[in-house]
Amino acid sequence: MSIIVSNSDSEKLLAIPILEQGTAKNQALMLYETLVQWNINKSVKALSFDTTAVNSGHLGGTCVLLERLLEKELLYLPCRHHIFEIILRSIFDNKISCSTGKDVLIFKRFQQAWNNLNKENFKPHIFDSNIKEMIEPELQKIIIFVENNLNTVQPRNDYKEFLELTLIFLGVKSHNSPFFHKPGAIHHARWMAKAIYSLKIYLFRDEFKLNSRETQGLRDVCLFLVLVYVDSWFTATSAIAAPYNDLNFVKKLYNYRLIDSEISQIALSKFINHLWYLSPQSMGLAFFDNKIDVNIKRKMVAQLNSTPSQTSKRLKLNESDIADFVKKDIEYFSKI
């Protein structure tokens, strides 16, 4: 287990202890002992973690147990990338359903066929006329967003490849012929695999043999990737922006039912299980989000001053509540 602390722009690896068992209790004890050894146990203010049950369980998860050892409450900053990966995997499995074991079969087939494909014979997507009318106003925003991120240094090459494939899929012309990287890792643990492979396979749908279900499923997944997912993925790392971004993400997923009701329902059913982190404490970060209008921030202050807030860190939301939930603005969550 790697234990890392960060402060502002600095980051330090404290230890990589070996755990005989990855239980919440063992993890919490090891974290606590490491913090004490470094004499920083009183300085820790927040926890960042993936959202597995062993970490985030509200009764006996690692985070809860560590809070008890430290004798104080901590701000929870769950990894949004882990959450978005769960959503994409659920959509992909529903639309394609070609996964067995650790690998994805359609990706394996594509990897094996890669050397025999004509790399010049790729086809950007032409949106259906009924869909194009709905998304046309957003296309230019998506293109600008992707191009801006391409001009920023990315932490990993596969992040950059995802952005490049998005532009190719949207039919954005470049001065040179696009370069396609040889297909890489295909197992479920690779965050970008489903996004990169889905876009790449669909672009080469005239070269790579697909059945009708695969073609339609990949088309649906790719539309979701470029219209919703790419923006959410590349803005996920900001804790300050997370509350507002995630609220807007729920609204996007709900409105996506006009394009694909199946994807909308699948994504929402997964995402609402990860909104518990929207506590009044985490919502306080939204005051520093420049994308939120000052008038809305004033409403957030008024909401905070209205009545005493509850102590629970968990926002509980059922699928039946979504229609009402998407009508709310961010000031509502200043007092849960």
pLDDT (0 to 100) of residue 300:
86
Pick from 81, 5, 2, 83: which is nearest to 38 by CA?
5
pLDDT (0 to 100) of residue 331:
80
pLDDT (0 to 100) of residue 3:
94
pLDDT (0 to 100) of residue 34:
97
pLDDT (0 to 100) of residue 256:
94
Question: Contact at 8 Å (CB) between 45 and 61?
Answer: no
Q: CA-CA distance, 35 to 44, in Å (whole number)?
A: 9
Tokens of 293: 């209008």
What does the pLDDT profile of the chain (336 residues) look like in tens digits? 999 999 888 899 999 999 989 899 999 999 999 999 999 999 999 999 988 889 988 889 999 999 999 999 998 888 889 889 999 999 999 998 755 566 788 998 999 999 999 999 999 887 777 777 777 878 889 999 999 999 998 888 889 999 999 999 998 865 567 889 898 877 656 778 899 999 999 999 999 999 999 999 999 999 999 999 999 999 988 888 988 898 899 999 999 999 999 999 999 999 988 877 766 677 788 899 999 999 999 988 888 777 655 545 556 667 777 888 888 888 877 665
pLDDT (0 to 100) of residue 53:
87
pTM for the complete prediction? 0.87
3-state helix, strand, coil in the chain (%, to 5): 55, 5, 35
Pick from 163, 166, 141: which is nearest to 154 by CA?
163
Q: Token match 């690779």: residue? A: 190
Question: Contact at 8 Å (CB) between 274 and 246?
Answer: no
- Provide DSSP, 137-197: HHHHHHHHHHHHHHTS--SSHHHHHHHHHHHHHTT---SSPPP-PPP---BTT-TTHHHHH
